[in-house]
Amino acid sequence: MLLFQNSNWLFLVISCVLCDGSLQPGFSKLQYGHRLDRKVIQSFAEVSFLDCVIECLVTPRCKSVNYFKGANFCEINYENKTTAETNYENGTGWVYSEKEHWPKELAGACENANCLINQTCKHKRYTQDKAFDCVPSDCGIPFKTGIDLSTTKREDAIGIHRRIHASCSDGYFQFGSGQLICQSNGEWKYDIVCEEGWVQSENHIYRLFTEKKNWESAKDQCESIDAYLVEIESSEENTWIYHDIVQQHFLPIMNHCTHSKWNCTVWIGGSDQSRESQFIWSKSKNIITFTKWFLDNPDNYKGNEDCIEMLAITGEWNDRSCDYNTGFICEKNLN
């Protein structure tokens, strides 16, 4: 009987906390027309003001909330107006409130949960269910080689949304939409890869490799990065590759090139391995129509020259033994 009375009493206290009396300090200290800028851990759409406060109470790192009444939009902050004075500013339609003005009991089962500083406590709201879980509260600052986060706008700056857009730093080529999504496991999902070394011409990109490989290995390396050994289909493409890649990026670092043109070459993707004198491109399997052969070539010297290299000095082609080790150029189509 005593137990029954106690639990009834407990229920009464919880009900009162949730209805009026104890909430008074929190409501009486609301700061209308203000918000704390750029200190957001997480934001939530379509939540009530009280649920916004509860999100803060169950997140150890949270110190205050911003709430936009018109859109039922909630932001929970890792600072308050005392710790981040200069970020406290006017904001029409916003309400600002501090965590310490609200009764801890609002956190329900999470009231005494010892979640880590980068976690938030999940529980069933407005019930006496004692079950809770500690889950990551945000994804932190995203990091990936070559990503430039300085271009993100205020609305999607780090933490303000669980979804942001980034781009690649100078010198990196961007693959993917640039979208980053903070997943519920606390990890960013990246739809962006920034790679160094690619140069673009129209809807193709090219990348020079100076490490020396035989033709087959060079071809494999291009395929391993979702590209192919370059296929040169026109005089314009040959000129562009010769001027913009070979002369600009290859010759300057190959200081021995002046001694012999035969020591300074790059593999391109053509060969006559399957049928002597019928040169085809390895990726498209197209028969090679445009050619830029160096004097007296292709000559199939010693009956053993089936792969095509470009002479870095002149931009002209030579057939050579596929076992020779030299640099190479990969090409990739942009969709």
**Contact residues for Ca ion (CB under 5 A)?**
231, 272, 297, 299-301, 305-306, 318-319
Minimal distance, residue 285 CB to Ca ion, in Å: 14
Closest CB to Ca ion among 96 and 328?
328
Minimal distance, residue 321 CB to Ca ion, in Å: 9
Closest CB to Ca ion among 58 and 330?
330
Minimal distance, residue 259 CB to Ca ion, in Å: 19
Q: Which residues, 6 or more positions from 314, have their beta carbon under 8 angstroms from its beta carbon?
A: 261, 294
Closest CB to Ca ion among 8 and 278?
278
Residue type, 228: Y
- What token pair was written down for 98? 């501090």
- Using Cβ positions, the residue closest to Ca ion within the complex turns out to be 300
Minimal distance, residue 328 CB to Ca ion, in Å: 14
Closest CB to Ca ion among 297 and 314?
297
Minimal distance, residue 332 CB to Ca ion, in Å: 10
Minimal distance, residue 293 CB to Ca ion, in Å: 9
Picking from 46, 22, 26, 41, the residue whose alpha carbon sits closest to that of residue 99 is: 26
Q: What is the 3-state secondary structure (H, E, C) of the chain?
A: CHHHHHHHHHHHHHHHHHHCHHHHHHHHCCEEEEEECCCEEEEECCCCHHHHHHHHHCCCCCCEEEEEHHHCEEEEECCCCCCCHHHEEEEEEEEEEEHHHCCHHHHHHHCCCCCCCCEEEEECCCCCCCCEEEEECCCCCCCCCCEECCCCCHHHCECCECEEECEECCCEEEEEEEEEEECCCCCEEEEEEEEECEEEECCEEEEEEEEEECHHHHHHHHHHCCCEECCCCCHHHHHHHHHHHHHHHHHHHCCCCCCCHHHCEEEEEEECCCCCCCCEECCCCCECCCCCECCCCCCCHHHCCCEEEEECCCCCEEEECCCCCEEEEEEEECC
Closest CB to Ca ion among 79 and 305?
305
Closest CB to Ca ion among 111 and 223?
223
Closest CB to Ca ion among 145 and 304?
304
Closest CB to Ca ion among 115 and 227?
227
Minimal distance, residue 224 CB to Ca ion, in Å: 19
Bridge partners of 194, per DSSP, are 174
Minimal distance, residue 110 CB to Ca ion, in Å: 59
